[in-house]
Structure 1
């Protein structure tokens, strides 16, 4: 048996997917047997490949990275070019993003704090609604606690939430952005609407986080492109009123990967700078518990898209489902567990409600990584 047994029977439409594996705490002990994941603090020693034909997995394998060049050279032509590009994306260095007073470097993970200006968000709806100063104070606390980014939203996207008129959404978020513009953290506007993006950018927002990947509003792509701001493209099964509608997957991991891959290509083709695109697999959006867990277990595969990766699992219902239906306000442990797992898999940004606790968890992880990387040979 060789690494390529079974490939000869693949059809012309077969697709290959790569996932880094075999992460090392101290890569210097294994020279030339590991590879750096992006420009991060993580090294991998193996590549897991999966080949799908007619949307079904037909071949799976695990290859030591030192054997990868030889394996790639022997791949059939229709798979070789794609496999080469995916592997290059795994080691692609992500350029820093200038966000006002903050520069986001991707050699370490960042915490994005959630600041909802809504009456009906699933976790903290109404906490800051109608009180811009109270919300700004909470934002300053997040920045002081170590949040690199504060994500400000004026419309809930929980299942069953009503669509908010763009004027009301602007009224909710703009005063908060104006008060936080010099807080030291990058400010993100969480919206699907072009008019809200424009108003938020005018007020000082540095980044756009759109759960519809700039598809909900036909003007969003143009507005985001003209602004020059970085954008988070998130996967959701629908770009319509209800982002949770649909969600019928053959394989949720490869379906989400393919969707994001195509969306990146479309946005770049429209003139957007690839270096300013962040991707989010959209945990909880039109996805079952099994779907969400499959995505969490395969976070590392999404690095093959070649973009910084954002993961948002904080307080979501899957934590309750795994912990005897713990209510929303009792999901801190699960939220940190998911955030820590995402960071261990190389996610560059974790989006959370509980900033101080998550920052501390990331700092401990970073200390352990530094200790491994500086260990004596």
Structure 2
């Protein structure tokens, strides 16, 4: 019977002497929740967790793409597409994209994530040459002006290569490096940091009828397998971030189950990235059918995730997220 160990993360200033630090960051834990597919969850003192798991939970993460993992980071979304669900068409010209990148940096973004292929539900695949034309010139323009970390949001090796040559430094693959078999070896050969995300199905069909035996453990197992696969291609675990893929082949209930126990993914020994900004279920629960009205709900989920130790927040609303984080961190001390 496989067991999974989730740190019960706390951020209270009254920290016991025997508490364990979570990943060298701002949070700590004294207990873990033991999960399995066959038994009800149990709570145990963290010292009773397997040594390998405990080592992964407490080890300080090295910076990834110059991001300091000891504090929450904000990844600003820059979609240079005509059809993304929230901001399609607003930044798909190089001058408008550069203006938006400038604004996000001023508002507190730590890294800019650039994507040239919409991954909204129902989106169709974009040809490689078109995706390169959308992304590489924008990356080059940002790099020429700003010394900010840049990630490329793509499933395809040629697009990633063009982006890296233009000045990007991280590859963020929503397909978990399963779409293009050349992408992971390329990242390994170039010693690139990566973010590996879970998705069930591709964007065109992923929301048709998503099903899991246990969404939390199924997603964890998938990410564990993909991290191991990336390691075989030369991508070190210290250069991998993991993303549970909120909204990618998941119902509202699936999303909530993942968010409630997102601290489980720290057991993989990698920093955790959350991309939940403006997604449909936020509109459903927050009475905000227009994606532009979902900043408050997005920020609420971001702060809940940071309270579970999530290191990177991928967001559309940089100012609102950074402002909220500043206040949250001030209160936490």
Q: TM-score normalized by structure 2?
A: 0.95
Does 2:114 correspond to 1:133? no
Cα distance in 1, alignment partners of residues 171 and 39 from structure 2: 39
Q: Contact 1:177/1:200 (CA < 8 Å) preserved in 2?
A: yes
Question: 1:62 matched to which residue of 2?
Answer: 43
Which residue pairs with 1:25 in the alignment? 12
Q: Which residue of 2 aligns with 1:77?
A: none
1:143 is aligned to 2:105: yes
Aligned to 1:274: 237
User: Quick one: higher RCO (CA 8 Å, sep 6+), 1 or 2?
Assistant: 2
Gap regions ≥5 residues in structure 2: none
Q: How does 1:1-377 map to 2 (within 5 A)?
A: 14-21=1-8, 23-28=10-15, 30-32=16-18, 34-50=19-35, 52=36, 56-65=37-46, 68-69=47-48, 83-97=50-64, 99=65, 103-129=66-92, 131-181=93-143, 182-238=145-201, 242=205, 244=207, 247-370=210-333
1:280-328 C-alpha deviation (Å, 9 max, x unpaired):
0000000000000000001111100110000011000010110235321
Whether the aligned pair in 1 keeps the contact of 2:79 and 2:87 (CA below 8 Å) is yes
Relative distance call for 1:246 and 1:210 in structure 2 (3 A) is farther
Give CA deviations for 1:114-163 in whole Å, capped at 9, x if unaligned. 0000000000000012x201111110111121111100000001111121
1: distance between equivalents of 2:235 and 2:246? Answer: 25
**Considering only aligned residues, what root-mean-square deviation do their CA atoms show, in Å?**
1.6
- SS of the aligned residue for 2:229 comes to helix
Structure 1 residue 105: Cα displacement: 1.2
1:208-254 Cα offsets, whole Å, 9 max, x none, are 10001111012111221122221000001136865556632000000
Larger strand proportion, structure 1 or 2?
1
Number of residue pairs aligned between Structure 1 and Structure 2: 332
- Structure 1 runs of 4+ off > 4 angstroms? 239-246
Paired with 1:111 and 1:321, the residues of 2 have a C-alpha distance of: 24
Consecutive unaligned residues in structure 1, runs of 5 or more: 1-13, 73-82, 371-377
Question: Radius of gyration: which is bigger?
Answer: 1
Retained in 1: the 8 A contact 2:121–2:204?
no
Cα distance between partner residues in 2 of 1:245 and 1:92: 39
- Contact 1:237–1:245 under 8 Å retained in 2: no
Following the alignment from structure 2 to structure 1, what is the Cα–Cα distance between the partners of residues 156 and 234?
Answer: 19
Give deviations 1:313-348, integer Å, cap 9, x for gaps: 100001011023532111111011011111111111
- The 3 A distance-change label for structure 1 pair 178 and 281 is same
Aligned to 1:10: none
- Give the TM-score of the pair, scaled to structure 1: 0.84
CA distance in 1, matches of 2:3, 2:215: 15
